[in-house]
């Protein structure tokens, strides 16, 4: 089997993939941020209403502001990471999938990952994320495949059932 897939550089798709890769971290950080805003703002309102302790109100409002910063900060950080991708990586790539490896070729670099290094596969609407670490993945877009290639790849994944998720 050899499947060749053209993969255009797409910052929006890359950002969407990063949101999936870092989904657990984004969720827990946003949950903490919502709790910080609720405790900070709610506590400040309660203190002002019932006791007038204005010194502590400032601290609680700072907690609420920190929660707002955390809530929006992670998405901004991922956006900055995509914007800061080196020029060498901002080119269309060719992905070559064979039985033993995935090869990604850019005009100025090439990387190969053995299938034995792939720990899990996550299918998204746009393609597959092939994880070779907890936060490291290579994206295989469906848009670059014809119907036969997609069926061939799906069949190949079924033979690799332990890593398919």
Q: Are residues 128 and 113 in the same domain?
A: yes
Domain end, chosen from 39, 58, 83, is at 83
Domain range for 65 is: 16-83
| Residue 130: inside a domain | yes
Per-residue model confidence as pLDDT tens digits over 110-134? 999 999 999 999 999 999 999 998 8
Per-residue model confidence as pLDDT tens digits over 61-113? 899 999 999 888 877 888 888 899 888 888 899 999 999 999 999 888 999 99
Task: Give CA 53 to chain center in angstroms.
Answer: 43
| Residue 165: inside a domain | no
Counting residues of the chain whose pLDDT is more than 90, the rounded percentage is 45
Q: What domain count does the chain have? A: 2
Q: Are residues 49 and 105 in the same domain?
A: no
Q: Are residues 53 and 97 in the same domain?
A: no
Q: Are residues 20 and 65 in the same domain?
A: yes
What is the pLDDT at residue 164?
Answer: 45
What is the pLDDT at residue 138?
Answer: 92
For 125-150, give one letter per residue: b (16+ CB within 10 A) or e: ebbbbbbbeeeebbbbbeebbeeebb
């Amino acid at each position: 089997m050899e499947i060749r897939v053209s993969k255009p550089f797409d910052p929006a798709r890359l950002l969407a993939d990063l949101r999936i890769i870092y989904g657990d971290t984004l969720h827990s950080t946003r949950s903490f941020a919502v709790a910080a805003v609720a405790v900070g703002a709610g506590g400040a309102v309660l203190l002002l209403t019932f006791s007038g302790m204005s010194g502590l109100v400032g601290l609680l409002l700072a907690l609420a502001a920190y929660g707002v910063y955390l809530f929006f900060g992670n998405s901004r950080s991922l956006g900055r990471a995509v914007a800061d991708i080196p020029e060498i990586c901002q080119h269309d790539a060719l992905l070559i999938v064979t039985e033993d490896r995935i090869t990604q070729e850019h005009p100025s670099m090439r990387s190969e990952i053995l299938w034995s290094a792939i720990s899990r596969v996550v299918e998204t609407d746009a393609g597959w994320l092939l994880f070779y670490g907890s936060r490291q993945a290579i994206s295989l877009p469906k848009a670059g495949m014809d119907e036969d290639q997609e069926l061939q790849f799906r069949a190949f994944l079924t033979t690799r059932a332990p890593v398919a998720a």
